[in-house]
Amino acid sequence: MDVNLVAAVRRFNRTVTQRVGALDDRYMARGRPLAQARLLWEIGPGGAEVAALRSRLGLDSGYLSRLLRTLEGDGLVTVGPADRAGGDGRVRVAALTGAGLAEWSELDRRSDEFARSVLAPLPGRRRERLVAAMAEVERLLVASLVVIGPCPPGDPRARACVRAYAREVGRRFDGGFDPAVSSPVHDEELVPPAGVFLLASLNGEPVGCGAVKLHAGAPAEIKRVWVSDSVRGLGVGRRMLDELERYAAERGWAAVRLDTNRALTEAIAMYRSAGYQEVEPFNTEPYAHHWFEKLLAP
């Protein structure tokens, strides 16, 4: 990887995280310990479950409990049982009191003020360029936060991805898409050792999927490669494809293949650029127009 690019990223990290980050903290914690301020902020006007707070802030259970007790003692927060009927009686939710809400608004105001202080010294044009550049950095950084890993096909997140996939395909195919007509894929085929289902997640939210079936005595077959709109163009599809190929290659398969619909033009371009060759139809999938195959390096 180009050394100049790496150096530029390092410079950016240094400038931005140290200076802006540190300043941001000072703005947040108004006399209050930073951890408390962050917690108060994270609870927010709508309240939050204690478990959610723990995972969002990455805090130890005991430490969080103590922080909540302190805020409760200051009259900013109330912690009580979740009042959802039929809910788990163990989970507790934290909510802001009137005073807590006032405090939260103050934090919100300060956060706003800080953002303004970043923009204020710039002339109008540059302001817009800064914001545009920030949006681009943010969007592209997201790519490094997407993690791809195996997931049972029955998992709700996996199901959500497959549904999103079907919805999109239904919207884009000329004559719509009827899952009953397409050749079916059963969950058992996507569980090791028969195959695998991979999920791409961003901060725990599913943003893409892909699967491979390891057919005995035939090339492995890639299915259901899908990437959410929110992260399209960030190379997630390509990484998914790489992972699926790697899975097959590591288990001894020498080739993978897949079929696709002519409406999915970006997908087709990606397959070609990833080294897939168009081949004669190898199945009778009614929605397919193109069939691809790629030989895997051993």
Residues of the shown chain interacting with its own copies in the complex, contacts defined by CB under 8 A: 1, 5-13, 15-21, 24, 111-112, 114-123, 126-131, 133-138, 140-146, 233-236, 238-239
Does 150 sit behind a cis peptide bond, omega within 30 degrees of 0 on the bond before it?
Answer: no
**At closest approach, how far in Å is the CB of 151 from DNA?**
17
**At closest approach, how far in Å is the CB of 91 from DNA?**
4
Residue 49 is a binding residue for DNA (CB under 7 A) = yes
Residue 243's identity, in one-letter code, is E
Nearer to DNA, 6 or 22 (CB): 22
Are 221 and 212 spatial neighbours (Cβ–Cβ below 8 Å)?
yes
Residue 155 is a binding residue for DNA (CB under 7 A) = no
| E strands in 173-272 | 195-202, 205-213, 220-227, 255-260
**At closest approach, how far in Å is the CB of 206 from its own copies?**
17
Count of CB atoms within 10 A of residue 38's CB?
20
Residue 146 touches which member of DNA, its own copies, none, C-beta under 5-8 Å by kind: its own copies
What is the rounded CA–CA span in Å between residue 100 and residue 111? 16
**At closest approach, how far in Å is the CB of 130 from its own copies?**
4
**At closest approach, how far in Å is the CB of 165 from DNA?**
26
Are 294 and 275 spatial neighbours (Cβ–Cβ below 8 Å)?
yes
Residue 196 is a binding residue for DNA (CB under 7 A) = no
- Bridge-based pairing of strands 290-295 and 255-260 is antiparallel
Question: Which single residue is written with the structure tokens 């999103």?
Answer: 164
Q: What residues from 55 to 114 belong to the interface with DNA (CB under 7 A)?
A: 59-66, 68-69, 79, 87-92
What is the rounded CA–CA span in Å between residue 213 and residue 7? 41
Tokens coding 249: 């290659």
Residue 116 touches which member of its own copies, DNA, none, C-beta under 5-8 Å by kind: its own copies
Nearer to DNA, 50 or 190 (CB): 50
Residues that bind DNA (CB under 7 A): 32-36, 49-51, 54, 59-66, 68-69, 79, 87-92
